[in-house]
A and B are shown apart, each in its own frame.
Chain A
Amino acid sequence: MTDIKEIEIQPQEKKSCSGSKCMVSRRTFLLGSGAAAASTVMITMFPGTSNAKKVKAQVARYPRKKIGNIKRLKTGKPVGFNYPDKGDYSTQMLVKTGTHCGGGVGRSKDVVAFSTTCSHQGGDLEGTYNKKYVTVGQCPFHLSTFDLTKHGMVASGQAYEALPQVVLEVDKKGDIYAIGIMGLLFGRADNLKS
Chain B
Amino acid sequence: MANPYYIPEDKVPLPPKNADVLTTACDYCIVGCAYKVYRWPVHGPDGGMKASQNALGIDFPCAPLEAWPAPNQYNQVMHKDKLHNIMILPDRDTDYVNKGDSSIRGGCIAQKVYNPKTPTHDRLKTPLMRINGSLLPVSWDLALDVAADVYKYVLEKHGPTACAMKSYSYQYVENTYAIRKFFFRHINSPAFSDHDNPGHYSSTPGFRDAGLDNFGPAYDDWGDAETLFIMGTDPWETKTIIFTQFIKPAIEGGQKCIIMMPRRSTGVAFAEANGGLWLDIVPGTDAVVTGAIMKIIVENGWEDKAWLKKWANNKWEVSSGFGQGTRNTNWQWRTTWGKFQAKGLDDWKKWILSQKEFDLKTASKMSGCSAKKIKKAAEMLAKPKKDGSRVKASIAIEKGAYWAANTLATNACAQLGYLVGAGGRPGQMIGRMGGHQRGGQSGGRFPTNKSPQKVPGRRRLKLNVDVWVRSGHARFAHVIGTTWTTAMTGTQSMQARFEELITRNPHQIDSFNKADIIKTLRARADSGGMVVINQDIYLRDPIGTRYSDIIFPAATWGEEDFMRAQGERRLRLYSKFMDAPGDAKPDWWIIAQLAKRMGLAGKGDFDWKNSNEVAEETARFSRKGRKAYNMVLVAAKAEGKTLHQKMRELGTDGIQGPTFYVKGKLFGSKRLHDTTLADRIGKNNGDSQDPANYISSITDLVQGANILGKKTTGFNTQTGKINVQKFPWSITGDQWEWFKPRGDELWMANGRQNEIWQSKFDDFRRPYIMQRWPENFCEINAVDAKKRGIESGDRVVLWSNRVPVLKDTILGVKGSDYQFSDLMKNGHVELTKGAITAIAVVTPDIKKGVVFTDFNDPRSQANALTSGVPDAISGNWLFKMAICNVAKIGESSYKKDMWSFSFVRRGIVDSKTS
A binding-site residues for B, Cβ under 8 Å: 1-3, 5-6, 31-32, 43-48, 51, 57-58, 60, 87-89, 100-103, 117, 119-124, 127-130, 132-133, 135, 137-138, 141-143, 145, 147, 149-151, 153-162, 164, 181-194
Chain B residues within 8 Å of A6, by CB:
1-2, 5
Point out the residue from A100, A122, A156 that lies within 8 Å of B904, measured CB to CB: A156
Q: Is B80 an interface residue (CB 8 A)?
A: no
Bound complex: CA of A119 vs CA of B102, how far in Å? Answer: 12
The answer for the CA separation of A157 and B551 in the assembled complex, in Å, is 36
* B61-A149 in contact (CB<8A): no
When distances are taken between beta carbons in the complex, the residues of chain B under 8 Å from A161 are 8, 70-72, 768
**Contact residue among B4, B248, B270 (Cβ-Cβ distance under 8 Å from A47):** B4
Min CB–CB distance B411 → chain A (angstroms): 33
Contacts A133-B904, A156-B906, A158-B240 known; A187 to B63 CB distance under 8 Å? yes
With A128-B910, A143-B248, A151-B898 as given contacts, are A160 and B10 in contact (CB-CB < 8 Å)? no
B694 within 8 A of partner (CB): no
B2:A182 contact, CB within 8 angstroms: no
Chain B residue numbers with a CB within 8 Å of A155 are 902, 904, 906
Give 18 A-B pairs besides A32-B898, A150-B901, A189-B69 with Cβ atoms closer than 8 angstroms: A31-B7, A100-B898, A121-B64, A122-B65, A128-B911, A138-B266, A154-B104, A157-B755, A160-B70, A160-B104, A160-B107, A161-B768, A162-B768, A181-B10, A182-B10, A184-B9, A184-B70, A185-B61
B910 shortest CB reach to chain A, Å: 6
Check: B892 CB closer than 8 A to any chain A CB.
Answer: no
- Chain B interface residue count, CB cutoff 8 Å, equals 68
Confirm or deny: B905 has a beta carbon within 8 angstroms of a beta carbon on chain A: yes
- The answer to whether B7 touches A160, judged by C-beta atoms less than 8 angstroms apart, is no
| 30 sample A-B contacts, Cβ–Cβ < 8 Å, listed by A number | A1-B898, A3-B897, A3-B898, A6-B1, A6-B2, A31-B7, A46-B767, A47-B4, A48-B2, A58-B9, A102-B899, A121-B68, A122-B63, A123-B64, A130-B911, A133-B904, A142-B240, A143-B244, A147-B902, A149-B898, A154-B755, A155-B906, A157-B104, A158-B102, A158-B104, A159-B104, A161-B72, A183-B8, A188-B61, A192-B11
Question: Within the complex, what minimum Cβ distance (angstroms) separates B599 from chain A?
Answer: 41
Whether A158 touches B754, Cβ cut-off 8 Å, given contacts A137-B908, A150-B899, is yes
Q: Does any Cβ of A come within 8 Å of B119's Cβ?
A: yes
B901 CB to closest chain A CB (Å) equals 8
| CB-defined contacts of A100 to chain B, threshold 8 Å | 898
A194 to B62, CA, bound (A): 10
B21 at the interface (CB under 8 A from A): no
Q: Is B487 among interface residues, defined by CB-CB distance under 8 A?
A: no
Q: Which residues of B contact A (CB under 8 A)?
A: 1-14, 49, 60-66, 68-73, 101-104, 107-108, 119, 121-122, 236, 240, 244, 248, 265-267, 270, 753-755, 767-768, 771-772, 896-902, 904-906, 908-911, 913-914
Q: Chain A contacts of B270 at CB under 8 A?
A: 138, 143
What is the CA–CA distance of A57 and B7 in the complex, to the nearest angstrom?
Answer: 7
Residues of A within 8 A of B7 (CB): 31, 43, 57-58, 182
Cα–Cα, bound, A127→B910 (Å)? 10
A156-B753, A161-B768, A186-B68 as given contacts; A151 in contact with B899, CB under 8 Å: yes
Q: Contacting B60 at CB < 8 Å: which of A101, A124, A149, A187?
A: A187
> Cβ of A89: which chain B residues have Cβ within 8 Å of it?
61
A-B CB proximity, top 10 nearest: A122-B64, A102-B898, A160-B70, A155-B904, A183-B8, A47-B2, A190-B11, A187-B61, A88-B61, A147-B902
> Chain B contacts of A124 at CB under 8 A?
64
Closest A residue, CB atoms, query B240: A158
Check if B63 sits within 8 Å of A157, measured CB to CB: no
* B236 with A143: CB separation less than 8 A: yes
Q: Pick the contact of A193: B60, B755, B911 (CB < 8 A).
A: B60
Q: Which listed residue (A32, A46, A156, A160) contacts B4, Cβ 8 A?
A: A46
Shortest distance from the beta carbon of A31 to any chain B beta carbon, whole Å: 7
Q: Would you give the shortest CB distance from A137 to chain B, in whole angstroms?
A: 7
A156 touches B755 (CB 8 A): yes
Chain B residue at minimum C-beta to C-beta distance from A194: B61
In the docked arrangement, what's the CA distance between A191 and B905, Å? 31
Residues in B whose Cβ lies below 8 Å from that of A3? 1, 5, 897-899
Task: Say yes or no: B10 contacts A190, CB within 8 Å.
Answer: yes
CA distance A143 to B68 in the complex (A): 18
Judging by beta carbons under 8 Å apart, are A44 and B2 in contact?
yes
In the complex, the chain B residue whose C-beta lies closest to that of A121 is B65
Residues of A near B772 (CB, < 8 A) are: 153-154
Minimum CB distance partner of B103 in chain A: A158
- For residue A142, which residue of chain B has the nearest CB? B244
CB distance from B891 to the nearest CB of A (A): 14
Separation of A120 and B241 alpha carbons in the complex (Å)? 13
Cα A133 to Cα B49 in complex, Å, equals 38
For residue B12, which residues in chain A have a CB less than 8 angstroms away from its CB? Answer: 184, 189-190
* Distance between Cα atoms of A89 and B68 in the complex (Å): 12
- Minimum distance in angstroms from B914 CB to a CB of chain A: 6
Could you tell me the distance in whole angstroms from the C-beta of B826 to the nearest C-beta in chain A?
A: 46
Please report whether the interface of chain A is mostly helix, strand, loop or mixed according to DSSP: loop
Collect the chain A residues with CB atoms within 8 Å of residue B767's CB.
Answer: 45-46
Do A150 and B900 touch (CB < 8 A)? yes
Tell me how far the C-beta of B683 lies from the nearest C-beta in chain A, rounded to whole angstroms: 35
In the assembled complex, how far is the CB of residue A125 from the closest CB belonging to chain B, in whole angstroms? 10
Give CA–CA (A154, B753) in the complex, Å. Answer: 12
- Report the nearest B residue to A165, measured CB to CB: B8
Query: In the complex, which residue of chain A has the Cβ closest to the Cβ of B753?
Result: A156
Name B266's contact: one of A44, A117, A143, A159 (CB within 8 Å). A143
- In the bound assembly, the distance between CA atoms of A120 and B266 in angstroms comes to 17
> Could you say which of A119, A133, A142, A189 has the most chain B C-beta atoms within 10 Å of its C-beta?
A189
Q: Report the minimum CB–CB distance from A89 to chain B (whole Å).
A: 6
Closest chain B residue to A190 by CB distance? B11
Q: State in angstroms the CA–CA spacing of A5 and B1 once bound together.
A: 7
* Interface contact A157-B754, CB-CB below 8 Å: yes
Known: A149-B898, A190-B10. A120 touches B107 (CB 8 A): yes
Which A residues touch B107, using CB under 8 A? 120, 158, 160
Expressed in whole angstroms, the Cα–Cα distance for A29 and B9 within the complex equals: 13
Of A117, A147, A150, A187, most buried by chain B (CB within 10 Å of CB) is A150
* Contact with A191, one of B1, B11, B70 (Cβ below 8 angstroms): B11
Q: Given A150-B899, A158-B107, are A191 and B10 also a contact pair (CB < 8 Å)? A: yes
- Residues of chain B within 8 A of A130, CB atoms compared: 908, 910-911, 913
Is there an interface contact between A121 and B236, defined as CB atoms closer than 8 Å? no
Cα of A158 to Cα of B244 in the assembled complex, Å: 10
Please report the C-alpha to C-alpha distance between residue A194 and residue B11 in the assembled complex, in whole angstroms.
12
- Contact flag A157-B266 (CB < 8 Å), given A1-B898, A46-B119, A121-B65: yes
Shortest Cβ gap from A185 to chain B (Å): 8
Given contacts A2-B1, A149-B898, A187-B68, contact A160 B119 (CB under 8 A): no
CB-defined contacts of B771 to chain A, threshold 8 Å = 153
Complexed CA–CA distance, A1 and B898 (Å):
9
Cα separation A145 to B98 with both chains bound (whole Å): 20
Given A51-B121, A159-B104, A189-B14: A127 and B911 interface contact (C-beta under 8 Å):
yes
* Alpha-carbon gap, A138 to B910, bound state (A): 6
Chain A residues with Cβ below 8 Å from B65 are 121-122, 141
The closest CB in chain A to the CB of B73 belongs to: A160
Expressed in whole angstroms, the minimum distance between the Cβ of A74 and any Cβ of chain B is: 16
Q: Which chain B residues border A190 with CB–CB below 8 Å?
A: 10-12
Q: Closest A-chain residue to B13, C-beta based?
A: A189
Q: Tell me the complex Cα distance, A3–B108, Å.
A: 25
Min distance, Cβ A155 to any Cβ of chain B, angstroms: 4
- How distant is B79 from chain A, measured CB to nearest CB, in Å? 23
User: Which residues from A are CB-within-8-Å of B61?
Assistant: 87-89, 185, 187-188, 194
Residue of A nearest to B893 (CB): A2
CB distance from A162 to the nearest CB of B (A): 6
B2 touches A119 (CB 8 A): no
Chain B contacts of A164 at CB under 8 A?
Answer: 8, 10
Q: Would you call A135 and B64 a contact (CB within 8 A)?
A: no
Q: How far is the CB of A6 from chain B (nearest CB, A)?
A: 6
Q: Known: A132-B914, A138-B909. Is A2-B6 also a contact (CB below 8 A)?
A: no
